[in-house]
Amino acid sequence: MNIALVTCDILAQYAAPNVEDEDSLLTRYLRAQGHHVEPRVWTNPAVEWEKYDVVLLKSPWDYFDRIEEFYAWLDRMEQLQVPMLNPATVVRWNTNKRYLRDIQDAGVRIVPTQWLPRGSHFDAEAAHTALQTDHLVVKPAVSGGAKNTFALLRGESSIRTPDLNELLQHEDFLVQPFLPQIQEQGEWSLVYLGGEYSHCVLKTPKSGDFRVQHYLGGGIQARTAPEHLRRTADAIVQQFAPGCLYARVDGVEIDGELVLMELELIEPFLYLATEPTSLPQYEKALSALKSGDVS
């Protein structure tokens, strides 16, 4: 296949000593299987996307900073009828964390959430009371990489309220209780390729932090997915990731259940280096989706 591997021009800022360059790892493997792979920056207007057999979204990690431009790019991909993985319709749905409400409506347990629409005002004390917690996490509905994410303790929340209300004039936010399980146990990430479970890691924040992103110092451990957590993740992917080459289910275990934090369908880091079979499974799923040989 002639493949465009979609990336961004700020990729270097996400480099971390505790992970391998996954874009290069995947590119080398696909080329070794006989595919022609070219990294392409999604914001480059000179790219001729229609000349590729498939466009793979891999690391457009600045999309949330340029969301309207990203939506326009997705529209263009659809107009050009360029085969894109993951599909543009699924990607567009996944850009705004409102998608969590759809998943919750289907009966999946998500982190309790208050939604703050653009133009509203944040009431810290009301949020602490409603969510029954002294520790809140507030983040944009369209975001990534812990951008503009606040951890607020009762009694100190009002200090950040003016900053949050200023941000709320420009975008939607959501409020959730801080989950001590993230610091005590870690956050599970279950990776699926072609709709089939591939591998799992447990992510932990560095000491004194609550963010698990690897480029912020978070730790990564390859783990076998507990069966009871995997059953829930399997069902989520089956229902909400149709036609997807990849999916990552992020959650924590509470009272023996997987509580969903994110369903990552746009540009997740897939921890491919942690599982020897992941690259062959990725290539197999890619070939099957391109040929239409999928169940």
Q: What is the mean pLDDT of residues 191-220?
A: 74
**What integer pLDDT is reported at residue 217 of this predicted model?**
47
Domain range annotation of the chain? 2-94, 114-178, 181-271
pLDDT surpassing 60 at residue 107:
yes
Task: Give pLDDT tens digits for 15-59.
Answer: 655 556 899 999 999 999 999 999 999 999 999 999 999 999 999
Binned at pLDDT 50, 70 and 90, residue 295 comes out as: very low
Q: In one letter, which amino acid is 15?
A: A
Question: Which of 217, 146, 135 lies closest to 179 in space, CA to CA?
Answer: 135
Residue 22 backbone dihedrals phi, psi, to 5 degrees: -70, -35
Name the pLDDT band for 294 (thresholds 50, 70, 90): very low
At 84 the pLDDT is 96
Give domain 2-94's CATH architecture. 3-Layer(aba) Sandwich (3.40)
Q: What local confidence, expressed as pLDDT, does residue 157 receive?
A: 80
More confident residue, 233 or 159: 233
Cα separation, 295 vs 289, whole angstroms: 10
Residue 233 has pLDDT above 80, yes or no: yes
pLDDT of amino acid 204:
85
Please state, rounded to an integer, the average pLDDT across all residues of the chain.
90
Q: What is the CATH number of domain 181-271?
A: 3.30.470.20
What residue has token string 């790019």? 73
> Domain 114-178 adopts which CATH fold?
Dna Ligase; domain 1 (3.30.1490)
pLDDT tens sequence across 118-160 = 999 999 899 999 999 999 999 999 987 777 888 889 988 888 8
pLDDT for position 30: 98
